[in-house]
Amino acid sequence: MRFAFRIARLATVAVAALALAACAVGPEYHAPPTPTGATAPLVSFDPARESPGAPPDDWWRLYSDPRLDAYVREAFAANADLAAAEANLSAARAILEASRAGQYPNTTAVAGAVYGRDAATDEILEIGGHPPQTIWKLDTLLDVSYEVDLFGRVRRSIEAAHADAEAVAAARDGLKVTVAAETARAYAQVCTLGEQIAVARHAQQVVSREADISHNRRLAGAGSEFEEIRAQGLVAQVRAAIPPLEGQRRAALFQLAALLGRTPANAPTEALACETPPRLIALIPVGDGAALLRRRPDVRQADRRVAAATARIGVATADLYPRVSLTGLAGGVGSHLSDLTAEKGLTWGVGPTVAWTFPNQTLPRARIRSAKAGEKAALAGFDATVLQALKETETALSAYGAELDRREALAEAQDKARRGYELAHGQVLAGAASQLDLLTAEQSLVSAEAAVAASDAAVTQDQIAVFKALGGGWGAPTP
């Protein structure tokens, strides 16, 4: 038996060395080329609004809001979709581990004992003139098989599984980008709606005060009932704008709770204390096109799909050639334990096995065509993903820049409306302007303040959209 094991071991080593020296069929993976201009500087980059520095992974810290930091960490830890993505990644890594098992010998050890009658033993006893006997039959067997990877089938299978696992990891990272962005978006919406509600309530105080003045003027005989009713109508209009904003804010709070893995009953009500939109303390860093493609998980996922598809061409091509395996077995059989190692109960063998689908190779060639088509689809998907990434980033930057310009113009209009209201108020008191002029000025001021508050919300949401398009958030450490 020792002799048999020695032969099997030497043969396995020799064949393994031969396999290592063999080449793998099929194309080698090369990083797919990006569309022309994909790595150029971003077209919508504006040095007055953005910086060329690379955005950090934990971009939400740029807002210097501890509550936002805590919410993003909690969302990473509690999000159910992320938990499912982690499970998918574990499954992909298990498949990779299984594919690597093909590099090593496959061993099967069997030991058994049966008490009863054996036809072969009975025949031997009868030849010797002995009656059949009921005996114990003991047997052991060690079976070893090793596929000689002459044409790289195992190697290409490992490459494909490795690329698949990396693609699943990139999908998980892309989900982290979404979770971070949506958590920041929900929290920012709670804050910006709080600002809009505060502005609406302030406007209600202003128009209510003017309505009281109109009422007192009518009682004093200096004003008309029409002027009073008109002022009260403006109060009702301003008051009517508050409940929808409060409903939207509660909805944003419940959205934040869902992202944190909480029920509505356990929603983070402390977020309602925020009435100021999160603001960046510096210019938003955007980097360049090349850094964008390296950072975005969806681009990395598309690249890994190309790598996996390329490796599968090699797996399919290897099926055109013979599959060579080295097999060996050693064991023993007998009615007593001592018989298992005795010469008369010894069994062993070693030798090659060749399996080849030939001459009918229709099936493997069809698989090669299918694999090549899969590679073409993956390459097309990579180009589409790159273009989509660039489009999303440029669109987000353009919308952000446009909203900043709009916010600047609205702020100027707000200043003019406030000054116009102050002038009209003074002129009405002095008798130099009508109540209608004051009402018009009030309406302009209320509309301007509401527009500025809505623009603040849009600027914050556009900033988060830029960070999401840049692909930040997946590299941040998860507690």
What are the Cα distances from residue 24, in Å, to 151, 154, 306, 373, 378?
5, 9, 18, 20, 21
What is the CATH architecture of 24-102+152-321+363-470? Answer: Up-down Bundle (1.20)
pLDDT category at 343 given cuts 50, 70, 90 is low
Residues 6+ apart with CB under 8 A from 407: 452, 455, 456, 458, 459
Three-state secondary-structure class, residue 403? helix
Q: Please say whether the beta carbons of 154 and 96 come within 8 A.
A: no
Q: Average of pLDDT values for 377-405?
A: 96
* Domains of the chain by residue range: 24-102+152-321+363-470
Residues making up the chain, counted from first to last:
479
* Rounded Cα gap, residues 315 and 371, in angstroms: 9
Query: Residue 223's CB: how many other CB atoms inside 10 A?
Result: 18
Q: Average of pLDDT values for 372-393?
A: 96
- For β-strands 284-285 and 50-51, DSSP reports them as parallel
At residue 16, does pLDDT exceed 70?
A: no
Category of 179 on φ-ψ map: left (φ > 0), alpha (ψ -120 to 50) or beta: alpha
Kindly report, residue by residue over 401-459, the tens digit of the pLDDT. Answer: 999 999 999 999 999 998 988 888 888 777 777 777 777 788 888 889 999 999 999 99
Tokens of 14: 């020799």
At residue 165, does pLDDT exceed 80?
A: yes
At residue 10, does pLDDT exceed 50?
A: no
* Phi, then psi, of 328 in degrees rounded to 5: -150, 150
The whole-number pLDDT of residue 478 equals 43
Q: Average of pLDDT values for 142-167?
A: 94
Omega within 30 of 0 (cis) for the link into 359? yes
Kindly report, residue by residue over 96-114, the tens digit of the pLDDT. Answer: 999 999 999 999 999 888 8
At residue 14, does pLDDT exceed 70?
A: no
Tokens of 463: 């900033």
* Rounded Cα gap, residues 454 and 245, in angstroms: 11
At residue 479, does pLDDT exceed 50?
A: no
Tokens of 284: 């938003």
DSSP notation for 118-139? -HHHHHHHHHTT-----EEEEE
Question: What does the longest C-alpha to C-alpha distance in the chain come to?
Answer: 142
The whole-number pLDDT of residue 9 equals 54
* Rounded Cα gap, residues 305 and 23, in angstroms: 23
Q: Average of pLDDT values for 296-304?
A: 95
pLDDT category at 17 given cuts 50, 70, 90 is very low
Nearest CA-CA partner of 32 in 423, 296, 386: 386
